Structure 1
Amino acid sequence: MVLGVTFLTLSYPYEATKRIVPSTLETKIAEKRPLSTSEIKSFEQKFALKAVDSKLLQLKLKDKWYFSKRNTSDHIDVISLSNYNELMALQHREQLKKLVLNEAVLVNYYASLAPVNESFTLKDGSQTLQVKKATNQNPFAFANSVVTVIVSDAKFNELAQKYPNASYAIVSFDGKNMRDNEKLVQAFKKLRSHTLVLMSGIN
């Protein structure tokens, strides 16, 4: 029993940290200074990492949404199913099954057994996303995306065409035994100046 309690005490904070920042390293890319394909490949090779470049749409909501009892968001971050599953594969986590055009999945950061029935109406009133399913498998750090909504690839492309100025990018890196390697972060900061660099690990 003592051994079990000791293991949980030590392992739970580490697992919680992994959920806060699920990839080894993650950064939101500045629009004016994007990373080139060659820069990403070079960084992957140098540190034995794999990278996933994610495209998201930050869409304003008509009404603020409470993602906890006290915290609200005036937008949602939309990601395509294929992009989400690519990140799940990178992070060695369970992937989602195929979604139909108007089906959406909410990344629920607070575990709950209650059924999901959410409706996100965009600020211009032209689109409403109905959410009937949720997952606790967050693809990004909480600091970069709190209310993430997963849609089919077809729906994502439709929204991307309608809201071309809403897109932004996040690059995620993952590699074996690299989650608390400070040299990795320092090298990445020297590579380019980005909005935010987040790294998993207990410091």
Structure 2
Amino acid sequence: MDFKRQGILGGTFDPIHLGHIHIAYEAICKLNLEKIIFMPSGNPPHKTDKKITSGKERYAIIKEAIKNQPYFEVSDYEINKNGMSYTYETLEYLNGKYKNVKWYFITGADCLAYLDKWKNVQRILDNCTFVVFKRSGFSNKDIEKYKSYIEQTYNKEIIYLDIPLIEISSTDIRDRIKNNKEYNYLLPEGIGKYIIENKFY
């Protein structure tokens, strides 16, 4: 049976920026994926103490940012879901909804350091191929250490995407908007204007 190869790129995306787009395109090329689905988080359990822009607004910004990108989609599953957003539930939902798809869950390498604290790790790894990209502050040696530990503990392969880093911070973008500093060069084309016109920040 032939499986479609599709990626999931999750995050708060508050807002989505060129760093996210860069990661998505690199994953498509290096993993030979047909599509990337951006999955803005609803109520992530690890960010309960942080103020996050509403899911509806973050979803709208992503949708606008990728409207001319044929390889990208955005899902509102997590932002419409009641309660906390858990990765294992998202993956099981996607596997139930879409048949004959091999999912690649793409996240930062820093997640490997605390993946053991995620809920139902085995169910996550059973429902996708887990892919990590490099994060600042994590050396290749650090990543390999965490990668080996997870692979041995759960008997699953982890893919490491060694791609160039584009250091952009959503927090910095929000601060720039608030303080009337230039930020358009950090965002997909037209998104700065879209954010201001809709008074999202």
Greater share of strand: 1
Greater share of helix: 2
Q: TM-score with structure 2 length normalisation?
A: 0.29
Q: TM-score with structure 1 length normalisation?
A: 0.29
Which structure carries more relative contact order (alpha carbon 8 Å, separation 6+)?
A: 1
